[in-house]
Amino acid sequence: MVTNGSQLDKKDYLSLSLLFILSFFLFADQNLMGPNLSQIAGEFGFNDIERDIKLGGEISLVFWLIGGFFTLFFGYFTDIASRKKLLIISMLFGEIPCFLTGFVQNYQQFFWLRALTGIGIGAIIPITYSLLADYFPSNMRSAATGYLGLVVGLGIGGGQLLAGITGPEYGWKISFIIVSVPNFIFLLLYAIFATEPKRGKSDKISGDITRINYSVIKKLVSKKTNILVFLQGIAGTVPWSVFFVYLTDYLAQDIGYSVQMASLVVFIIGLSAMIGGFAGGLIGNKLYNINPKYQPLLSAVCTFIGMVPTAFLINLNPVGQNASVTYPLVLGVFSGFFITITAPNMKAVLMNVNHPNTRGMAFSIYNLADGLGRGFGPFIISFFILQFGRQWGFNIANGIWFFCGISILLMMKTYSRDQI
């Protein structure tokens, strides 16, 4: 383990600031569809079942699977090439299709532009966390990932709220244009002014980093902690699909709230998730410095707690017009807060158990696992909806978080010995 402080200069702070801003706008795109699923379905001539299968299932599947495939490509080169250049390329892959989505004329165009946008989001993850691990030592990484999670959460929640507010008034396409344009400006600033840290500089083992070889990759996938992180990542993203793909439309169409109030509930979930991720990173950082085993313990306990308000939120009774939204807002606060405490700690765990010249590949595998969950999650849930209806399908998804909690608890036995 490394316990030395992190020495950052003005260029490092500028580079990190631009990296965080770019992440904010890129991830703002992630859930722009959710508030306006029914409106999009109406434009493309879909019925309610086609809405959930095609927009909720197929789009998410191709978005995350293609992104997951390309994350392996970018993850490999993250460990051997200029991460600054790779980040610029990945951002263009994400933002150009996002901008063009605002001008689609049919479902086929929409389908493939969403698939291409997935490349950008899939590619940036191994690059970003490889950079963070070189800016910060192990005893600061949970806090660093917490700050990044704060920014990403603001982007996701803000994008979804924007879509919910602008969609009914100006149409669902405008939000894709609004969130993509700023990043072209910030990407230019990043290309001109940003620098990248020396690979491995925050670890004792820093030095000349060479190409990845088979033995290093074999060691990466043989670490039990890595496997457990990957498994909980696959499973954990399935229930998140309820929040970010279906919940706004569910609260509006099935429970009876307006699209704006339903969007507000999901925004509050995203906001509390952002706060939970931030607090989780700081708390996990302190617990790690007491005993590394406490970090996965915190994550597991909070995962179990978060399932409870989520269950109450899913099983709300239908309401009439002008019904108070206070109760679902309170449930959303607790649900989003506790569930996301896990996220920054799992990323810090992954940083701490992997060598500097394999972190890009480790995070690409993690993102592939995450992408499989995000891609197949809505697709699986759409199958559950078809068989059991929306409410039961969402309840089954919520139960998957129990498996995540068990996987995280098992890390208490493996984490300390797997650290570099």
pLDDT of residue 81: 86
In a domain, 288, yes or no: yes
Is the pLDDT confidence value at 86 over 70?
A: yes
What would the mean pLDDT of 269-277 be, rounded to a whole number?
Answer: 86
Question: Which one-letter amino acid corresponds to residue 270?
Answer: G
Average pLDDT over residues 86-98: 93
Mean pLDDT of all residues in 102-107? 94
252 located within any domain? yes
Q: Is 201 part of a structural domain of the chain?
A: no
Report the C-alpha gap between 141 and 419 in whole angstroms. Answer: 13
CATH number reported for the structural domain that contains residue 116 in this entry: 1.20.1250.20
Span of 50-59, 253-262, 314-323 with lowest mean pLDDT: 50-59
What is the pLDDT, as a whole number, of residue 342? 93
CA-wise closest residue to 83 among 37, 16, 178: 16
- 55 part of a folded domain: yes
Global pTM reads 0.72
pLDDT(331) > 90: yes
CB–CB of 295/345 below 8 Å? yes
Under 8 Å between Cβ of 202 and 132 = no
* Confidence category of residue 282, pLDDT binned at 50, 70, 90: very high
Mean pLDDT for 255-273 is: 85
pLDDT digits (tens, 9 = 90+) for 344-379: 999 999 989 887 777 888 888 887 777 666 667 777
Query: Considering the domain boundaries, does residue 32 fall inside one?
Result: yes
Top mean pLDDT of 111-125, 229-243, 276-290, 314-328 is at 276-290
- Position 246 scores a pLDDT of 82
Does 340 score more than 60 pLDDT?
Answer: yes
- Residue 1 scores a pLDDT above 50: no
Is position 120 within any domain? yes
What lies within 8 Å, CB to CB, of 417 at 6+ separation is none
Task: Count how many domains the chain has.
Answer: 1
- Top pLDDT among 137 and 337 is at 337
Query: Whole-angstrom Cα distance, residue 383 to residue 393?
Result: 8
With cut-offs at 50, 70 and 90, classify the pLDDT of residue 2.
very low
Residue 213: the pLDDT is 57
CA distance linking residue 173 with residue 181, whole number of Å = 13
Binned at pLDDT 50, 70 and 90, residue 199 comes out as confident
Structure confidence at residue 204 (pLDDT): 60
Give residue 68's pLDDT band: very low, low, confident or very high (50, 70, 90).
Answer: confident
Neighbour tally for 4: CB within 10 Å: 12
pLDDT tens profile 203-239: 665 545 445 556 666 777 788 999 999 889 888 878 8
The stretch 114-138 carries a mean pLDDT of 87
What is the percentage of the chain residues whose pLDDT exceeds 70?
A: 94
Where residue 178 falls among pLDDT bands split at 50, 70, 90? Answer: very high
> Mean pLDDT, the chain, as a whole number?
86
End-to-end CA distance of the chain: 6
Which residues lie below 8 Å from residue 218, measured CB to CB, with a gap of 6+? none
Nearest-angstrom CA–CA distance, 3 and 352 = 12
**DSSP SS3 for 320:** coil
294 contacts 287 by C-beta, under 8 angstroms: yes
Say what the pLDDT of residue 419 is.
86
**Of 218 and 116, which is predicted with more confidence?**
116
**391 or 199, which is more confident:** 391
Q: What is the share, in percent, of the chain residues with pLDDT greater than 90?
A: 41
Over residues 163-175, the pLDDT tens digits come to 988 998 999 999 9
Instruction: Determine the structural domain holding residue 312 and report its residue range.
Output: 10-196+216-418
Tokens of 181: 């344009």
Quote the pLDDT of residue 214: 62
Tell me what the mean pLDDT of segment 176-201 comes to: 92
Res 3: pLDDT: 43
DSSP structure string for 17-45: HHHHHHHHHHHHTTTSSGGGHHHHHHHHT
Q: Tell me whether residue 385 is in a domain.
A: yes
Residue 209 domain-assigned?
A: no
Contact indicator for 266, 243 with CB cutoff of 8 Å: yes
At residue 375, the pLDDT reads 65
Confidence (pLDDT) at 171: 94
pLDDT > 80? residue 83: yes
Taking alpha carbons only, the member of 354, 6, 11 closest to residue 196 is 11
